[in-house]
Structure formats: structure tokens, C-alpha cells
Amino acid sequence: MAWNEPGGNRNDNDPWGTGGGRRGNDQGPPDLDEALKKGLDKLNKMLGGKGGKSGGSGGSSGGSAGGFGAILALAAILLVGYVIFQSFYTVDEQERAVVLRFGEYHQTENPGLRFKVPLIDSVTKVRVTNVRTAESSGQMLTQDENLVTVDLQVQYRVGDAEAYVLNVRDSNQALAFATDSAIRHEVGSSTLDDVLTEGRAELAVRVEQRLQMFLREYGTGLELVRVNVESTQPPPAVQDAFREVQRAREDEQRVKEEAETYRNRIVPEARGEAQRMIEEANAYKEEVIERARGETSRFLELLAVYQMSPTVTRERLYLQTVEEVLANSSKILVDTESSGNMMYLPLDRLTQGSLPRTGGSSSGNNQGNVDIQTLTDQVLQELRSRQDTTVRRSR
């Protein structure tokens, strides 16, 4: 009969009672030890055990069996709760979960709250977003049989969680072996100068390509982010000599660059100067040709006139030549045999115009030049008039 059933001895069946009935209207808290004992007895009855109030040895054995059953029931409850709690798991945003069912690959879970079958499924979480770093260093032979020390840094991440967990027992160790193989293969295919100087950047690219190919063939599930060749050094015994060679090569490169700069500056200037001289020569050529053509045309015209009247043309040419000569001379030529007329010449003014003036003003010099030019014009005019008279007399 249940403890709260109507009728019966309610005080005896109440697991939270005090065992001595109610003390009047007292509603105080029950004894905790007594309540725990009665709760265990109740649980024992539910599991099929006997009550704990039997007398003698039978009562003692029944109480022991009831206590063991209660402990077993409590352990079962805790075990069930633990199994249920372990059936749920959370996958972080940076992770992927590889689920194995009976040891065989089942699926890969994305981020979120996930469920697994207890005692059947096993879950391995793998971080796939963070970038990891591995370093490698060692001495190796180049193509020209020289030793070189190469320090390498590899940055990578997990690209395939399934392959990372299942294909290779230790993906990091496989990466180290693949890195050593790739760097030694590429260094062995290069010369010492390429590894130490200009070819170091290209070496990193080739190592990255070969290493990624190895990781893909091995099925490690790793994906390269970047490969950096941090340093390449010759063996310590020859480092000083190598530095001297490097300085000599740097000086050679510097001199070549200076020579290239000088060539780039001089060659355009020389080409410009040559082009200018060619243009000037062409202009002079055209000028001489055109002048010669003009002189030829003028001479032919003059020849036609000379053939028509040779005497007059000869005299005119003579007078033009004398005029051009006397125009730039301070001397005066007078022909007095052909005429008895007396010619007046202002010798004092001519002398003053011909003498050098050290203290005089520029206006005096200009006045002397004007007088000489005037006198010259007068002489030429007189010569022309006499020529005209001679021509009329000859006709």
C-alpha cells in the first residue's frame, strides 16, 4: 500500500516520516538520515528486495541486499546520465569533426551541436582554419658539388580533415620528410650561385610546388599556404671567402649599372648632335644650291643684256664694282684728266672724318662718316655723268 493511500498506517509507510508518528500538530523538518534510509528501503522494494524491518539474521541479510541494490541502481542512473551527456558534442567554427562508426569512416561534421551513438561512434575534432608552421634546416649538395646550408619555413593548414585523420598516422612527420625531400631535390638541381643569390626566391617557389605535389600524393590532407627560404649560407669554413666574392660581384654590378647609366646619357646626346649636324649640313647644302641657282640665273640675264650692248654693260658693271668698293673705304679716287673742271674737296672735313677720335662723342664720328659717304656719292655721280657724255659722243 502506498504511503499516501487512504487508510492504513500512514505514519509507518511515510518515507519522510519520523517513524514515531506525528507529534501532535508538529510540522518540523524530518530527520535526514532517517529520510535517506527510508528512501533506500523504498527503492529496494521497487527493485524486488525485502523491507529492512525483519528481525534477526534475516533482517540483517535483507538490509545488506537492499543497500547493494540501491547503490547499483544509483550507479545505473549515473551511467545512463553520463552516456546521454556524452552522446552530444559541439563542433567549433574553426573545427571539423571526423566521425568513425565501428572504427570505419562515417561522415565529417560541420560546426554546430551534433549527436553520436554512444559506445559506437568515435569523434575526432580537427582544426582546419589556423595556419601552422614547420621549420627545416640542413646542409645539402648543389648541382656543382658545393655544400650549402638552407633554412626553410613552411606554413600550412589542414585542407581535408578525413585524409588528415585516416590516411597518415602522423601528418606532421610526413610533412617534415616531404619537406626535406623537396628542398634537397631542388637544391641538388641548382648551382651554388643560384641558391645563394638571385635564385633564392625562385627556389622557394619550386620547393612549394614540389612539396604540395608530395603531400597530395601521400594523401596527408595538408594544404600549403607559403614556403619561405629564410637563409642560404655556405659552410662556416668558407664564409669569409664567399663574402669577398659577393662584394666583388656587387662592385661589378655597380660598375655595370654606372656604365649603363653613362651610356644611356651619352648615346642620346651624341645622336642628337649628329642629327643636328646632319640638319645643318642639309640646310647649308640647300642654301648653296639655291644661291648658285640664283647667281646662274642672274648671270644669264646679265649675259643677254651684255650681248645686246657690251660697252654700256661693261661700263655699268665697272661703276657698280667701284661703287661697292668705295662705299666701304675712306679713300677718294678722282679722275681729272678727262675734264678741266675744278673739283672742290673739303679736305679738312675728310681729314677729321678719317682721323681716329678718342675723346670725341659718337655724334662726331657719325657726322664724319656721313660726309665721306656724301663725297663718295658726288664722285660717283660725276663719273656717271662723264660716262654718259662719252657714250653720247661715241654714238
Q: Residue 216 burial by CB count (10 A; 0-12/13-18/19+): exposed, middle or buried?
A: middle
Interhelix angle 310-326/362-394, rounded to 10 degrees, is 170
Gyration radius (Cα) of the chain, Å: 64
Quote the pLDDT of residue 213.
93
User: Pick from 148, 152, 235, 135: which is nearest to 194 by CA?
Assistant: 148
In this structure, how many other beta carbons lie within 10 angstroms of the beta carbon of residue 7?
6
Quote the pLDDT of residue 341.
58
346: left (phi over 0), alpha (psi -120 to 50) or beta: beta
Full set of structural domains in the chain with CATH: 86-125 (no CATH), 131-235 (3.30.479.30), 236-323 (no CATH)
Planar angle of CA 45, 49, 50, nearest 5 degrees = 85
120 three-class SS: coil
Provide block-wise average pLDDT over 10 residues at a time, the chain (395 residues): 44 46 46 66 61 45 58 76 76 88 88 84 88 89 87 92 89 90 91 82 90 91 91 82 83 93 92 94 94 90 86 84 74 60 58 47 42 61 63 52
Quote the pLDDT of residue 276.
94
Task: Render 318-335 in DSSP notation, one character per residue.
Answer: HHHHHHHHHTT-S-----
Residue appearing with cell numbers 661700263? 315
Three-class secondary structure assignment of 211-247: HHHHHHHHCCCEEEEEEEEEEEECCHHHHHHHHHHHH
